[in-house]
A and B are shown apart, each in its own frame.
Chain A
């Protein structure tokens, strides 16, 4: 059985099946769109993971060596996440548990994914 949901501005189901349609991608950059907690959390989570993977590959390929680059990755990914939900989407963070909750979404998994890709690309490409 599926639970009935109250009428929302957003008629899309929170957990979409299949591929994202263009209109759903447009929502990712629409400050007028309404978000529920799970949806926004999922989007922030996956953005974090993509950033972790991309930065890991980039740092490992160049290569950037030293602990300072780990801190830089943290600052960069946090800045991007913040800019996304506060500047692009313009959501009221208090409705979603505050800045802390939004910035922590997917953070630990992102850090481990970044370290994993950084270490592997560095090891395989430069030795």
Chain B
């Protein structure tokens, strides 16, 4: 191919990154069409945000003042609401997960057919274990610093998609995660 970076020995690495970037945009576009633009998602997200912030406020207040039974019941109610909304949100996202996974799989297959057995980059370190299996996948030769398409694609998938979601505001609300971890169910009942 005659394109600007063809002089570099490992310009294929840039090709992999470029394709991964386009794939990430396509996946987010799919997610937007199937999930984020719908009213039910917006309502769910809004209720999760409200519930998690309300919960934080109530937790803070309950630390300052003596705990009352009515307070505990309110906290229980908000927690239940948060859990239900989080579960609904997970089910909602699962719908588009299949489509996105299919796109990622197809793109991986495409890249695999283009770059199988080809060294697309050179690692500045010696990988070991699972990382080496991934980075040396499908390659001939004994040099552990040879990098296959699969490893580069994996790094791109995590870094580009995560940051793209963050940038576009599609990242999952923290309340959904915090609701599960920071407020375990047994606490309110024992108090």
Q: How far is the CA of A109 from the CA of B171 in the complex (A)?
A: 13
Residue-wise interface mask of B (31-71) relative to A, using a CB-CB cutoff of 8 A (1 in contact, 0 not): 00000000000000010011001001100100000000000
B157's closest neighbor in chain A, by CB?
A112
B93 within 8 A of A: no
**Which of A26-34, A64-72, A83-91 contacts the other chain?**
A64-72
B158's closest neighbor in chain A, by CB?
A112
Q: Name the one of B9, B10, B159 contacting A116, with C-beta atoms under 8 angstroms.
A: B159
How many contacting A-B pairs (Cβ < 8 A)?
92
Name, among A59, A108, A118, A123, the residue most crowded by chain B CB atoms within 10 Å (CB to CB): A123
Interface size bracket, B side: 35 or more
Residue-wise interface mask of B (148-177) relative to A, using a CB-CB cutoff of 8 A (1 in contact, 0 not): 000010111011001100100100011000
Q: How many residues of chain A have a CB within 8 Å of chain B?
A: 39
CB-based contact B10/A66 at 8 Å = no
Q: Which residues of A contact B162 (CB under 8 A)?
A: 108-109, 112
A11 within 8 A of B: no
Q: Which residues of A contact B (CB under 8 A)?
A: 1, 3, 6, 15, 36-38, 41-42, 45-46, 49, 52, 59-60, 63-67, 69-70, 95, 97, 106, 108-109, 112-113, 115-116, 118-120, 122-124, 126-127
